[in-house]
């Protein structure tokens, strides 16, 4: 639900109807949010899956919270499931959910799609509960990844650890179950977005931006504030480009849109400060009274405005160090 019940146990499920979709919402306690979401999901699984062993912080309490909350979700979901329902589970927060549902006797077909990268065995085994995580994935009937590399890493782990076999044609045998795994890259409706962007050119904010760059070329980057996005490295590269090619100074403006993300996690709070300081340093060192090299926006911008800004830009910078389906 996006809400916390504080120290109290969550109340009953609430339902929200939007169009043809009925949402069932539940609260979590403050402890659940801290251990499950801020703890294990975003301070262990997220950095491990993005190859950042240096940022992973393990804790028994957080690991227990992750599995406990997935068990809680399963118990809330199970009474609503009909025998012929197909269940889709999304992303790293919910890997153990199928195993919990199977434990309760559900035989439904269950699919899982991972939005983020999947690391090779050498990295995954540094996580103390890597076996439990892989066992959890084996309880799905279909496991989807964003890229072939992610799928290869998954299959490589099964082989290296001797816990599964690649049966061919996308089928795997692990922990006594046969299931399918594949790469299913996600894109956008490009034709529809192109039409949307063309209409957005008349947006007032887009028109103001066009006038303010005064005929200069514009580079745009749009990323959630996250260490996996390569934002700091991108700023450094732009600074080096300008110092190495002074003829481009005062001829190009770089707009970086970076909404805040997970500010309650210390690594993200530290990064927010680093990015702001770096943009300010570059502007102070290279900028002039009539030209700011980097325009840094640390908040969300509507999709309509973003579409117009994309169309206005000459170059779009997408430079994640590691990323899955979500490049913003």
Residue 196 and residue 177 share a domain:
no
In this prediction, the residues of the chain whose per-residue pLDDT falls under 70 are: 1, 263, 325-328
**pLDDT at position 221:** 94
Domain that holds residue 179: 14-183
> Where among 125, 158, 183 does a domain terminate?
183
Q: Is residue 8 part of a domain?
A: no
**pLDDT at position 326:** 61
Residue 310 and residue 212 share a domain:
yes
**pLDDT at position 284:** 95
The pTM of the full predicted model, rounded to 2 decimals, is: 0.87
Report the CATH number at residue 286: 3.40.50.2000
Q: Is residue 30 part of a domain?
A: yes
Residue 145 and residue 86 share a domain:
yes
pLDDT per position as a tens digit, 137-177: 999 999 999 999 999 999 999 999 999 999 999 999 999 99
Residue 147 and residue 243 share a domain:
no
Residue 171 and residue 22 share a domain:
yes
Which residues contact residue 246 at a Cβ distance below 8 angstroms, ignoring those fewer than 6 apart? none
Residue 81 and residue 217 share a domain:
no
> Where among 119, 154, 183 does a domain terminate?
183
Q: Is residue 321 part of a domain?
A: no
Tokens matching residue 217: 């070329």
Considering the candidates 27, 32, 223, 323, report the single residue annotated as catalytic.
323
**pLDDT at position 327:** 53
Residue 28 and residue 162 share a domain:
yes
Residue 203 and residue 135 share a domain:
no
> Where among 131, 163, 183 does a domain terminate?
183
Residue 216 and residue 118 share a domain:
no
Question: Would residue 115 show up in a list of annotated catalytic residues for this protein?
Answer: yes
Residue 38 and residue 95 share a domain:
yes
Residue 269 and residue 146 share a domain:
no
> SS3 string of the chain?
CCCECCCCCCCCCEEEEECCEEEEECCECHHHHHHHHHHHHHHHHHHHHCCCHHHCCCCHHHHHHHHHHHHHHHHHHHHHCCCCCCEEEECHHHCCHHHHHHHCCCCCCEEEECCCCCCCHHHHCCCCCHHHHHHHHCCCCEEEECCHHHHHHHHHHHHHHCCEEEEECCEEEECCEEEEEEECCCCCCHHHHHHHHHHHCCCHHHHHHHHHCCCCEEEEEECCCCHHHCHHHHHHHHHHHHHHCHHHCCCEEEEEECCCCCCCCHHHHHHHHHHHHHHHHHHHHHCECCECCEEEECCCCCHHHHHHHHHHCCEECCCCCCCCCCCC
Q: Is residue 224 part of a domain?
A: yes
Which residues contact residue 58 at a Cβ distance below 8 angstroms, ignoring those fewer than 6 apart? 44, 127, 128
Question: Would residue 166 show up in a list of annotated catalytic residues for this protein?
Answer: no
The structural domain count of the chain equals 2
**pLDDT at position 263:** 67
Q: Is residue 170 part of a domain?
A: yes
Residue 174 and residue 239 share a domain:
no
**pLDDT at position 181:** 98
Considering the candidates 115, 141, 166, 173, report the single residue annotated as catalytic.
115
Instruction: Please give the Cα distance from 328 to 305 (Å, whole number).
Output: 15
**pLDDT at position 6:** 85
Which residues contact residue 27 at a Cβ distance below 8 angstroms, ignoring those fewer than 6 apart? 1, 3, 4, 5, 10, 11
Q: Is residue 325 part of a domain?
A: no
Q: Is residue 234 part of a domain?
A: yes
Q: Is residue 29 part of a domain?
A: yes
């Amino acid at each position: 639900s996006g809400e916390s019940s504080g120290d109290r146990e969550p109340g009953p499920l609430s339902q929200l109807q939007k169009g043809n979709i009925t949402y069932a919402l539940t609260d979590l306690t403050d402890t659940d949010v801290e251990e499950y979401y801020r703890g294990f999901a975003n301070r262990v699984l997220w950095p491990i899956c993005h190859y950042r062993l240096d940022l992973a912080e393990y804790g028994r309490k957080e690991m227990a919270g992750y599995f406990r909350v997935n068990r809680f979700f399963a118990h809330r979901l199970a009474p609503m499931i009909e025998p012929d329902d197909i269940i889709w589970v999304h992303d790293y927060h919910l890997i153990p959910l199928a195993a919990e549902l199977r434990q309760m006797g559900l035989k439904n077909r269950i699919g899982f799609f991972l939005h983020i990268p999947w690391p090779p065995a050498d990295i995954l085994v540094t996580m103390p509960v890597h076996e439990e995580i892989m066992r959890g994935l084996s309880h799905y009937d279909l496991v989807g990844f964003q890229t072939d590399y992610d799928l290869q890493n998954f299959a490589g782990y099964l082989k290296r650890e001797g816990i599964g076999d690649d049966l061919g044609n996308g089928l795997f045998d692990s922990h006594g179950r046969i299931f399918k795994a594949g790469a299913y890259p996600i894109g956008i409706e490009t034709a529809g977005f192109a039409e949307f962007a063309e209409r957005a050119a008349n947006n007032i904010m887009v028109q103001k931006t066009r006038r303010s760059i005064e005929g200069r070329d514009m580079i745009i980057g749009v990323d959630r504030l996250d260490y996996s996005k390569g934002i700091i490295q991108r700023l450094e590269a732009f600074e080096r480009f300008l110092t190495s090619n002074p003829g481009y100074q005062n001829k190009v403006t770089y707009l970086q849109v970076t909404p805040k993300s997970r500010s309650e996690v210390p690594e993200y709070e530290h990064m927010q400060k680093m990015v702001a300081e770096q943009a300010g340093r570059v502007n102070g060192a290279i900028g002039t009274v009539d030209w700011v090299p980097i325009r840094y926006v640390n908040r969300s911008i509507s999709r309509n405005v973003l579409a117009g800004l994309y169309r206005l830009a000459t170059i779009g910078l997408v430079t994640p160090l590691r990323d899955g389906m979500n490049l913003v």
